[in-house]
């Protein structure tokens, strides 16, 4: 190839590359932004609102209000947008609402369009600067760029962009919510059931993962800090699950001589224990796991069958990594504040109990009858004022019932 031909080829290639990464005009989303304004005119946005903003995985999140029932929120995602577009329109889709909290998820479209991870970082920092300048007290969280089957060839750029943004978050006091690893299976590939047919956007199962990550990121980070401050025991007995585990403050005192660890996170559901099993259970290589969860699930509208399915998924995830680990499930407790749901609670426990009979590594710990009085109702003196959580008398009962099951 002579010099002239080489020069022509070089110009063609560089021209093609420049065209591929040429910045697109944010004005292409003007109609979307005007639609938000029309929505605001029709219904005044709430005060102290939480704003979800970003690309199509935010825009398509139709179950968002149902998943965060007690949180006033706005969905300001506009599909196909890049992080640079979100930064450009920050005034009109975020700042004007003076939100209490912002959740941002974007960046994948930027990379897909040919931008570098460094350019994505620049757009992220532009967004943070705009919001922080106008609203210094507003909390900002970045939901990491997810892996997707349809864009798996771009996974290295996604990892690089996430790493850069995570470092920037730490520097600027932004919460980085890492969903990347949660969306991968044991084979290191995106879990297909978490995506719809286009293999790009989340299914409701995918949104289960994102919801869990949003709710429990701080708790998981707190566990990591505990581990850094004090080395966990080797091959421990890990207690995990919801608030009745969290509030078991006398756990170590109740079982002296046993390497018990408390990794409960209050308000959590069985799915959350499954979702974070690798960080709350598996990483410690426990000899035994004791779980109490399911009541929040039923109270939140899930069926006993869903509770059972999530428990089986938890068991499968733990046993895939730790085949010899024993797993014990504490039955749903008869709480006065949730007595109207007791039939569903009992059914969920029954399904789990039957399942534990199929595997010698599983055990069912039935605390239910021990928490009832002679009248068949919950003992009134074993609960605190909320009639949901136990006082010290309740934990005395649990200590006596659970103790014989500990290895």
Report the pLDDT averaged over residues 362-386. Answer: 96
Q: Are 278 and 192 in a shared domain?
A: no
The count of structural domains within the chain is: 2
Q: What is the pTM of this model?
A: 0.88
Residue closest to 242 by CA, chosen among 280, 207, 204, 206: 280
Q: Are 195 and 273 in a shared domain?
A: no
What is the per-residue DSSP string for 176-220?
EE--TGGGB-TTSSB-GGGB-TTSSSB-HHHHHHHHHHHHHHHHH
Determine, yes or no, domain membership for 391.
yes
Q: Are 195 and 67 in a shared domain?
A: yes
Q: Any residues with CB less than 8 A from the CB of 45 and at least 6 apart, and which? A: 74, 97
Determine, yes or no, domain membership for 206.
yes
Which tokens go with 63?
């179950």
What's the pLDDT score for residue 15? 41
Domain that holds residue 365: 232-405
Q: Are 211 and 284 in a shared domain?
A: no
41 to each of 34, 44, 46, 286, how far by Cα in Å? 10, 6, 12, 55
Here the CATH number for the domain that contains residue 27 is: 3.40.50.1110
Q: Are 212 and 287 in a shared domain?
A: no
Q: Are 280 and 324 in a shared domain?
A: yes
Q: Which residue has the higher pLDDT, 18 or 69?
A: 69
Q: Any residues with CB less than 8 A from the CB of 4 and at least 6 apart, and which? A: none
Residues 28, 252: Cα–Cα separation, whole Å: 60
Q: Are 248 and 385 in a shared domain?
A: yes
pLDDT (tens digit per residue) in 330-358: 999 999 999 999 999 999 999 999 999 99
What's the pLDDT score for residue 24? 66
Determine, yes or no, domain membership for 57.
yes
Instruction: Identify each DSSP E strand in 58-98 by its residue range.
Output: 73-77
Q: Find the Cα–Cα–Cα–Cα dihedral 352, 353, 356, 358, rounded to 10°.
A: -100
Confidence of residue 8 (pLDDT cuts 50, 70, 90): very low
Q: Are 212 and 237 in a shared domain?
A: no
What's the pLDDT score for residue 57? 98
Q: Are 56 and 98 in a shared domain?
A: yes
φ, ψ of residue 37 in degrees (nearest 5): -60, -40
pLDDT (tens digit per residue) in 107-151: 999 999 999 999 999 999 999 999 999 999 999 999 999 999 999
What's the pLDDT score for residue 141? 98
Determine, yes or no, domain membership for 223.
no
Domain ends where: 155, 188, 217? 217
What's the pLDDT score for residue 407? 75
């Amino acid at each position: 190839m002579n010099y002239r031909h080489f020069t022509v080829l070089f110009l063609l290639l560089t021209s093609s590359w420049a065209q591929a990464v040429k910045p697109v005009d944010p004005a292409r989303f003007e109609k979307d932004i005007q639609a938000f304004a029309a929505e605001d005119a029709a219904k005044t946005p709430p005060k102290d609102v939480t704003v979800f903003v970003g690309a199509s995985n935010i825009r398509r999140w139709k179950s968002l209000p149902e998943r965060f029932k007690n949180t006033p929120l706005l969905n300001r995602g506009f599909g196909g947008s890049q992080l640079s577009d979100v930064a450009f329109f920050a005034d009109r889709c975020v700042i004007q609402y003076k939100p209490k909290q912002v959740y941002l998820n974007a960046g994948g479209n930027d990379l897909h369009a040919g931008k570098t991870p460094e350019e994505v970082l620049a757009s992220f920092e532009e967004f943070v600067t705009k919001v922080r300048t106008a609203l210094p007290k507003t909390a900002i969280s970045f939901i990491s760029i997810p892996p997707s089957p349809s864009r798996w060839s771009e996974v290295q750029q996604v990892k690089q962009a996430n790493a850069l943004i995570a470092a920037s978050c730490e520097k600027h006091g932004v919460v980085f919510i890492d969903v990347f690893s949660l969306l991968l299976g044991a084979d290191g590939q995106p879990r297909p059931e978490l995506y719809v047919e286009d293999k790009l956007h989340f299914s409701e199962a995918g949104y289960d993962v994102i919801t869990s990550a949003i709710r429990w990121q701080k708790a998981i980070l707190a566990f990591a800090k505990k581990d850094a401050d004090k080395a966990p025991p080797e091959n421990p007995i890990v207690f995990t699950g919801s608030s009745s585990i969290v509030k078991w403050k006398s756990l170590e005192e109740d079982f002296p001589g046993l390497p018990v660890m408390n990794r409960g996170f209050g308000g959590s559901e069985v799915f959350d224990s499954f979702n974070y099993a690798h960080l709350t259970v598996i990483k410690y290589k426990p000899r035994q796991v004791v779980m109490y969860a399911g009541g929040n699930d039923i109270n939140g509208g899930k069926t006993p069958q869903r509770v059972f399915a999530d428990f089986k998924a938890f068991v499968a995830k733990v046993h895939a990594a730790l085949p010899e680990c024993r797993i014990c499930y504490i039955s749903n407790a008869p709480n006065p504040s949730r007595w109207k749901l007791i039939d569903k609670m009992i059914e969920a426990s029954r399904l789990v109990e039957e399942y534990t009979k199929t595997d010698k590594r599983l055990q069912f710990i039935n605390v239910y009858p021990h928490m009832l009085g002679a009248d068949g109702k919950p003992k009134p003196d074993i609960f605190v004022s909320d009639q949901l959580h136990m006082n010290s008398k309740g934990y005395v009962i649990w200590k006596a019932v659970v103790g014989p099951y500990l290895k």
